[in-house]
Amino acid sequence: MNGEHNGNNYHNDPDTSRPSALYKPTKPRPHTLSVAIPISIIHNSKRKLELRTALASTIARALSVFSVDEIVLFDDGDCEPSNNTPSSQRYPGPESTKLTAFTHPGHFLAMILSYLETPPFMRGRLFPMHENLAKAGIMASLDLPSHLRATEWCEYREGISVRTAREGTYVDCGLVSQRLVRGVEIPTGTRVTLRLDDQNGGEAEAVGPMVPREEGGYYWGYTVREAASLSAVFTECVWEGGYDLSVGTSERGEEVGRVVEGILGDEERREWKHLVLVFGGVKGLEEAARNDEELVRMGIGKGNVRELFDYWVNLLPGQGSRTIRTEEALWMGLMATRRLVDER
């Protein structure tokens, strides 16, 4: 060890006692990154609530680390409930507090992902007691830019409306005092995105949930959308004009590195507005296409599902294991295509 380095310069070493990678936006961001995964990812995991909760938490961590704006959970037809289970017991409805981890995996996964994306101080009011959240204590924190501490300043904050008055609506946004949204009546218990002028002021402006990203450039968490089929990932897209760049993943696809280089070398393609990465389940996207009645009517099936996408990529040619699990492919795919986002 160099003696000079080991001398009086120790006080210049970085403080590693707490996280320091705070999100610092550089410019407004109109473009979005979406991910679509099959709900069979939960159905095909071991039938233990702890393990399914941990799996959902791992997915949420991947979405957060790579700043994914939208997660689409599509039914790939590989997790039908048992025929011996009455339909009334398969999905108890949105008002029920019954466990759905083993009967309706899409609902379970959507709830866990939504719960984790919500700022911690709001969860108790937005998510009443539910059996799906029985193992919430084992889930990893996402620590998103929108999950601000009371002592941290940001011009945007998430809040929940707590009461209305003659002058407007009071919103709890995790600060010492509530903020007044003047002249606007917001139903109590509604999640609200606020724009603040200063940390100590008493008023705030309610803005759309996409404003922190579109105007401030912040990564502000992800939205969760459920789709009844693979085709619905595209036909029910919430973005105007749909996804203008779509990438499907398969071990039968082209090596992802070459695809990324090709996109970056195309001036028109590299300026995409809405990118979606689509992952298959155990049986691949081919099986999801085979089980999709709309795609079958269009003549798209197991043999030509790649026609549904702009690009069809193999995330790891020459993989050592016979299979790559969807949750593993998710991390790999987001890392492999990261340059498409960074160099946008």
Q: Kindly state the average pLDDT of the residues 235-246.
A: 96
- Domain final residue, candidates 170, 196, 212: 212
Kindly state whether residues 245 and 319 are assigned to the same domain. yes
* Residues spanned by the domain of 208: 156-212
Which CATH number belongs to the domain containing residue 171 in this structure? 2.40.50.140
Instruction: Assess whether 243 and 99 both reside in one domain.
Output: yes
203 CB contacts (<8 Å, ≥6 apart)? 179, 180, 181, 182, 197
Question: 96 falls in which pLDDT band (50, 70, 90)?
Answer: confident
Domain boundary among 193, 212, 231: 212
Are the CB atoms for 79 and 39 separated by under 8 Å? yes
323 located within any domain: yes
Does any domain span residue 199? yes
Which SS3 state, helix, strand or coil, does residue 155 take?
coil
**pLDDT value of residue 79:** 65
User: Do 126 and 243 have their domain in common?
Assistant: yes
Same domain assignment for residues 161 and 130: no
**Is residue 265 situated within a structural domain?**
yes
| CATH number, residue 269 | 3.40.1280.10
- Answer yes or no: do 242 and 139 share one domain: yes
Measured between alpha carbons, how far is 202 from 160 in angstroms, rounded to an integer? 15
Would you say residue 26 lies in a domain?
A: no
Confirm whether 264 is domain-assigned.
Answer: yes
Task: Give the pLDDT band of residue 87 (cuts 50, 70, 90).
Answer: very low
pLDDT of residue 12: 61
Domain end among 191, 212, 233: 212
Encoded amino acid at 41, one letter: I
Same domain flag for 83 and 173: no
Q: What pLDDT sits at residue 197?
A: 85
Q: Report the pLDDT averaged over residues 285-311.
A: 95
Banded model confidence at residue 334, pLDDT cuts 50, 70, 90: very high
**Are residue 202 and residue 223 in the same domain, yes or no?**
no
* Distance of alpha carbon 114 from alpha carbon 209, whole angstroms: 14
- One domain for residues 62 and 160: no
What confidence tier does 84 reach under pLDDT thresholds 50, 70, 90?
very low
The reported pLDDT for the residue numbered 97 is: 85
Does residue 314 share a domain with residue 184? Answer: no
Q: Are residues 57 and 182 in the same domain?
A: no
Q: What is the sign of the dihedral through the CA atoms of 170, 181, 122 and 26?
A: negative
Q: Total structural domains in the chain?
A: 2
245 and 130 in a single domain? The answer is yes
**Residue 269 pLDDT:** 94
Which residues 6+ apart lie within 8 Å of 326 measured at CB? 37, 38, 41, 279, 280, 281, 282
18 is a domain residue: no
pLDDT tens per residue across span 35-77 = 999 999 998 888 999 999 999 999 999 999 999 999 999 999 8
Letter for the amino acid at 121? F
Do 194 and 306 sit in the same domain of this protein?
Answer: no
The answer to the question of residue 193 being in a domain is yes
Residue 19 placed within a domain: no
Are 53 and 61 spatial neighbours (Cβ–Cβ below 8 Å)?
A: no
pLDDT (mean) for 292-318: 95
3-state DSSP helix/strand/coil percent for the chain, to nearest 5? 30, 20, 50
